[in-house]
Amino acid sequence: MNATDRTPADLLRSALATDPARPLVTFYDDATGERVELSVATFANWVAKTANLLQGDLAAEPGDRLALLLPAHWQSAVWLLACSSVGVIADVQGDPAGADLVVSGPDTLEAARACRGERVALALRPLGGRFPQAPEGFADYAVEVPSQGDRFAPFAPVDPDAPALAVGGAELTAAQLLARAREDAAALGLTAGSRLLTGRTYDTWEGLSAGLFAPLVTGGSVVLCRHLGQLGEDGLAKRVESERVTNTAV
């Protein structure tokens, strides 16, 4: 982390400049057997494309509120950093009716229809696959994002002291988010190069911090596991060994 890094998007840019090839997010879904590993460069490319979609096609502006109705997933992490890149408030599991736009997984589409703004749906299929047929009233993320640009530049500078994240009834600025992530990283014993395995969900600050922000702020990486309870103790021990895990937050 550099002294000038004041938002999560800043952290990602610094990581990309320092070591783009190292792993950043390794995702498992233990209900389906899916495994996806994204390097800093690959993750940053997804973030840039998503931020371009958000700022361009969806016409989102700094201060807009995006209801993020997604589980713990590598694509959820991408959307969190895309929101940070544009200056949009990521309202995790927020009320779509009060949001300017909504991003939904396949299980929350009916609730997401309450949003009067732009609606994006994610199938959350392996390898970022699309819906067999796009849900009515939604843009299919997997269809829209590939054609977006690989580099992103915000139309307006992102204010680190503006609201950036809402979760669990609390709202944080980007600067406050990084401060809390640093505190959590210290409590978890994370340092540069740490590899944190977590099975926490993305509907609390603790889950978001362990599943993305604390590893990011320290120059580490995360092994993000959905449905980890289905793995069993022996399976967990094998994963810790095979993924060279140094810290856990389950």
> What residue ranges in 100-250 does DSSP mark as E strands?
101-104, 118-121, 139-140, 163-167, 170-173, 195-198, 221-226, 247-249
Tens-digit pLDDT profile for the chain (250 aa)? Answer: 566 799 999 999 999 999 999 999 999 999 999 999 999 999 999 999 999 999 999 999 999 999 999 999 999 999 999 999 999 999 999 999 999 999 999 999 999 999 999 999 999 999 899 999 999 999 999 999 999 999 999 999 999 999 999 999 999 999 999 999 999 999 999 999 999 999 999 999 999 999 999 999 999 999 999 999 999 999 999 999 999 999 999 9
| Alpha helix ranges (H) inside 92-226 | 109-112, 141-144, 174-188, 205-208, 214-218
This prediction has a pTM of 0.97
Domain contains 127: yes
CATH number at residue 13: 3.40.50.12780
Domain contains 2: no
As for how many domains the chain has, the answer is 1
Domain contains 138: yes
Domain contains 207: yes
Domain contains 3: no
Domain contains 96: yes
Domain contains 206: yes
CA atoms within 13 A on the CB side of 52: 16
What pLDDT, on the 0 to 100 scale, is given for residue 234?
Answer: 96
Domain contains 199: yes
State the residue range of the domain holding 190: 8-249
What pLDDT, on the 0 to 100 scale, is given for residue 4?
Answer: 79
